[in-house]
Amino acid sequence: MLGQKIVNKSLGDDQYELIATGRGSKRFRENIQYESMDITSSTEVLAVLNRYRPQVIIHTAAMTNVDECELNHESCTNVNVLAVQNLVDASQEISAFFLQVSTDFIFDGLEGPLTESHSPSPVNFYGQTKLDAEEIVMNANLSWAIARTVLVYGVVSDMSRSNIILWVKSSLEQGKEIKVVNDQFRTPTLAEDLADGCLLIAKSKSSGIFNISGKDFLTPYEMALQTADYFKLDKSLIHETDSTKFTQPAKRPLRTGFIIDKAKNILGYAPHSFKEGIEIVASQVDSIRQE
């Protein structure tokens, strides 16, 4: 999803030539140069990056299903850690600026919202692999940046991904009662905002760690209420609960969310509110359905 948003925002930008990569065939419709590249193959990564020798690499790929990562350590490690090592090794060889996308799940959830200087302490395997990846990047002999983000939401062109907005909307339209947790706190991030943040870092080659997230500190319950309000749906179908009522393979940090002052001041990052994000997602869904 993030890759598609970066592609969309790069259309018509003559300042840079963008080459998108992915495993297998292209999964977006935009007329952007595309190269198949399996990031878990050091040979493929080195061959492709040597062929194009990019000045900047924005690494957006990851295994992000937290429960899948908890149940399949090997696959998670291959994608989230070993692939980063492959990319970093190749980036060092061609002297590219490397941008790694990371997550709030590197933190334990005991406090928040967080600045870039808070000490990581993951509570699940996914978070540990993303922290391991950060350490690979920070210890590499290259220019680098890390964009940490939180609960990314949005839509892709084939509508293959859901998010809390679409789930709440669909459930309430069908008259279903839903339970939503009120003890987890996040700063939900519109995918377009994260793409903007990544491009601001990439174009300026600003080094270091940046919190790139939304600006509203909310619980999923509050997000659900805002969604119901926007679509004028029945909020009485939404019931508060807490995370102890759900059995999941991976533990979630309770309280994260980011303070984004550094990104605002240095990069000029200006994310949408969650309410604005709902409106953007709704308009995108309408556009896709009309095609």
What CATH number does the domain containing 93 carry? 3.40.50.720
Sheet holding 144-149, edge to edge: 56-59, 97-103, 144-149, 208-211
Q: How many domains does the chain have?
A: 1
User: Among candidates 238, 218, 220, 227, which has minimal Cα distance to 169?
Assistant: 227
User: What are the tens digits of pLDDT across the range 187-242?
Assistant: 999 999 999 999 999 999 999 999 999 999 999 999 999 999 999 999 999 999 99
Rounded to the nearest integer, the mean pLDDT of the chain is 96
How confident is the model over 63-77, as pLDDT tens digits?
A: 999 999 999 999 999
CB 258 within 8 A of CB 213: yes
Distance CA 259, CA 211 (A): 7
For residues 257 and 137, give the distance between their C-alpha atoms in angstroms, rounded to a whole number: 23
- Entry pTM: 0.97
Determine the pLDDT at residue 217: 98
State the number of CA atoms in the 13 A half-sphere of 210 facing the CB. Answer: 30
Residue 159 has what pLDDT?
A: 73
Cα 39 to Cα 6, 88, 94, 280, distances in angstroms: 18, 11, 16, 32
Q: Average pLDDT for residues 88-100, to the nearest whole number? A: 98
| Domain that includes residue 99, residue range | 2-290
Q: Is residue 27's pLDDT more than 80?
A: no
